[in-house]
A and B are shown apart, each in its own frame.
Chain A
Amino acid sequence: MNRIEQRFADLRGRGQKGLVIYIGAGDPDLEATRQLALAFDRAGVDVLELGVPFSDPLADGIVNQLAAQRGLESGTTPARVLETVSAIRRDSQVPLVLYIYFNLLHRVGVREFIAAAAKAGVDGLLVLDLPPEESENYEALMSEFGLCPIYLIAPTTPESRIAVIAPRARGFIYYVSREGVTGMQAKVSDTIGDMTSRIRTHSSLPIAVGFGISNAEQARQVAASAEAIVVGSAVVNRIAELGRSPELVPRVGGFVAELAAALRPG
């Protein structure tokens, strides 16, 4: 059982909801990423998703695009992200997922990338533009190296396709709660409960719901129909505002702790 599976099993045992946090790796630099990861672990984050900066992040809204740009400007390469993961692993066992575009795997070789990620201490990959139909031997390799392939399901995914995707996923299923790129929204979609119950007819994996959750109130709302919630842009925005300020880690860590508290009252 890898760290993601173990964590969700523990959460289930305690009857708690999980908190998944997304940040762009290398924003503002990789040392900040390491410190943020450790702060999030202390704040009660269950899974940390690290966005690996890509030059053409076409599934991302402006907040994450700018984070990727800052990441690239600070010299963040996939290899250096893996070094940072190794550094995080010296102090923390927080489950880690890389959120990544396929070309970055394809370029070095899918097997080579997965092997290096596993060695560094990564627990799962979410490859934005690699649908299961294109995944070839990706899942076999992920399984060989003990990593969870995380798949997205969208509001436009019909039931017949949920049946294709769900059995291939490991760790958790990521339900994208709205049509669109990543980013914050004022109101939570009201079709979430309907979709998560449809996904449950095809899989017993935990479901994490994301894309647009920006505050504690929304976190509580969404958690009612899922095992975990994902918060990304709202955290990335705070990182963008604070940049290299000494307040970065305490302030962003504080915001994440509030989200965790909202999910686990008392």
Chain B
Amino acid sequence: MPDDQGRFGQFGGRYVPETLWYPLQQLEAEYFRAQQDPEFQRELSYYLREFVGRPTPLYFAERLTKELGGAKIYLKREDLLHTGAHKINNALGQALIAKRMGKTRVIAETGAGQHGVATATVAAMFGLKCVIYMGAVDCERQALNVYRMKMLGADVVPVHAGQKTLKEAVNEAMRDWVTNVRSTHYILGTAYGAHPYPVMVRNFHRVIGDEARAQILEKEGRLPDLLLACVGGGSNAIGLFYPFLNDPTVKMCGVEAGGHGILPEQHAARFHGGSLGVLQGTRSYILQDEVGQIQLTHSVSAGLDYAAVGPEHAWLHDVGRVEYSYATDEEALGAFMKLARLEGIIPALESSHAVAECLKRAPKMSADSLIIVNLSGRGDKDVAQVAPKVGLEMPK
């Protein structure tokens, strides 16, 4: 998967305006050439090791395990990567593709700002011009990351359309790409969009699962029983899950944003209130009304606040290979604080959704079972937003 039309069963494909068809075909060809090119692979691993900081540890969360009194919990520490989240795996890979294609300018959308920071970082490192589109609401709630992108030399363009979050940022990035396609590569930040993005982004992130698989076999001598990861578009989750898909004993659960609960416009849980649709280049589960207008979403976490989910997740859901649950804002905030206090790790609000699911499941599992939670990012960017919600004040 996918097939050569970029389809995962009935999901995926390439539903784009004509101007983008041929550039996507060129991107597809170049990406698959690069994938077979040992020199490209060598360069990618070099930068992943020396610049990004791979491999990341698979850390045994001893105090959390003891507290929950069930399964043994490991954390895949993507939060320790340069720039603070898994997003840089893909941003780096695509920047190398952009260079191969002779593009001098890269653009990206960002929700929480982690993909924007990762893109701005690789653009600075390779000397590429960089423009980041970010919803105006997200610019406000993730201000730290806006400063980081600007310091790295990127132009950050706030998007004021619609609900001013991730979906609108993607629309605006696509408009830029349609207009500047000859000079520009669009570094799409999640396993979403038109073919080849979902497969390319997955492949750049599968390093997460490949490492985790080898690490757990080394530490425990066996495969894990359960993998947990948050799902916005779904890039960190597919990166962790993919190398385990053929291991039938490994269960997997993607955790969506339950927001205020599963009521219209109050959440971003596409598998719990979404339906089949076509948005931003691909066919998948989306949150829409009865005539096909895209619905508003809500999540405390900007990175999960999105109306559609990656097509491969839609397929894994329908074939029953992966289960998808959700955590509410409140549960995510609880998990955020718990991990900080018990393990000395402040997780991103996005990753906190996966931790929240772990808090529910680990106590029901036996002490000899194993869970891997993908800690996809660190929470520095979220502290200003979380502090008032958990009653923290500046000392006077």
Contacts and interface: CB of A to CB of B under 8 A. Distances in A.
Interface of A: 54-61, 65, 72, 77-79, 102-108, 128-131, 133-134, 151-158, 161, 165, 176, 179-181
Contacts of B167: 56
Interface string B1-39: 000010000000111111111110000000000000000
A79 to B, nearest CB: 7
A8 B286 CA distance: 40
Given A72-B293, A108-B291, A134-B14, A156 B279 contact: no
B19 A129 contact: no
Contacts of A131: 14-16, 18, 21
Interface in B146-196: 161-162, 167-168, 170-171, 174-175, 178-182
15 contacts: A54-B293, A56-B279, A58-B175, A65-B161, A103-B278, A105-B292, A108-B292, A129-B17, A134-B13, A134-B14, A134-B15, A154-B22, A176-B19, A179-B180, A181-B175
Given A103-B286, A161-B22, A179-B19, 7 more contacts: A58-B175, A108-B291, A129-B278, A131-B14, A131-B21, A134-B15, A180-B179
A111 to B, nearest CB: 15
B1 to A, nearest CB: 18
Given A179-B178, A181-B175, A181-B179, A59 B17 contact: yes
B227 to A, nearest CB: 32
A59 B293 contact: no
In this complex, the member of B18, B167, B168, B286 whose beta carbon has the largest number of chain A beta carbons within 10 angstroms is B18
Contacts of B18: 131, 151-154, 156-157, 165, 176
B292 A129 contact: no
A106 B277 contact: yes
Contact of A129 (B281, B290, B293): B281
A70 to B, nearest CB: 13
A102 B178 contact: no
- Please list the 5 inter-chain residue pairs (A to B) with the smallest Cβ-Cβ separation, ordered nearest first: A107-B292, A180-B179, A154-B19, A59-B17, A152-B18
Contacts of A179: 19, 178-182
Interface string B284-309: 00101011111000000000000000
B277 A103 contact: yes
A162 to B, nearest CB: 11
Contacts of B276: 106
Contacts of B277: 103, 106-107
A45 B79 CA distance: 60
A195 to B, nearest CB: 12
Nearest to A129: B15
A133 B291 contact: no
In this complex, the member of A61, A154, A161 whose beta carbon has the largest number of chain B beta carbons within 10 angstroms is A154
A203 B62 CA distance: 70
B17 A156 contact: no
Contacts of B179: 179-181
A56 B168 CA distance: 8
Nearest to A158: B22
Contacts of A155: 19
Interface of B: 5, 13-23, 161-162, 167-168, 170-171, 174-175, 178-182, 276-281, 283, 286, 288, 290-294
Nearest to A131: B21
Contacts of A103: 277-279, 286, 288, 292, 294
A92 B84 CA distance: 62
In this complex, the member of A77, A103, A105 whose beta carbon has the largest number of chain B beta carbons within 10 angstroms is A103
Contacts of B283: 106
A128 B17 contact: yes
A55 B180 CA distance: 24
Contacts of A60: 175
Contacts of A58: 17, 170-171, 174-175, 280
Contacts of B291: 77-79, 104, 107-108
Contacts of B14: 131, 133-134
A54 B161 CA distance: 13
A152 B21 CA distance: 11
A151 B21 CA distance: 13
B336 to A, nearest CB: 31
A106 B278 contact: yes
Contacts of A108: 291-292
B40 to A, nearest CB: 25
A130 B286 CA distance: 18
A103 B180 CA distance: 25
A58 B293 CA distance: 13
A77 B291 CA distance: 7
B23 A156 contact: yes
B175 A161 contact: no
A116 B215 CA distance: 58
A105 B167 CA distance: 20
Contacts of A154: 17-19, 22
A117 to B, nearest CB: 14
A72 to B, nearest CB: 7
A176 B168 CA distance: 24
Contacts of A56: 162, 167-168, 171, 279-280, 294
Contact of B22 (A72, A128, A157): A157
A58 B159 CA distance: 13
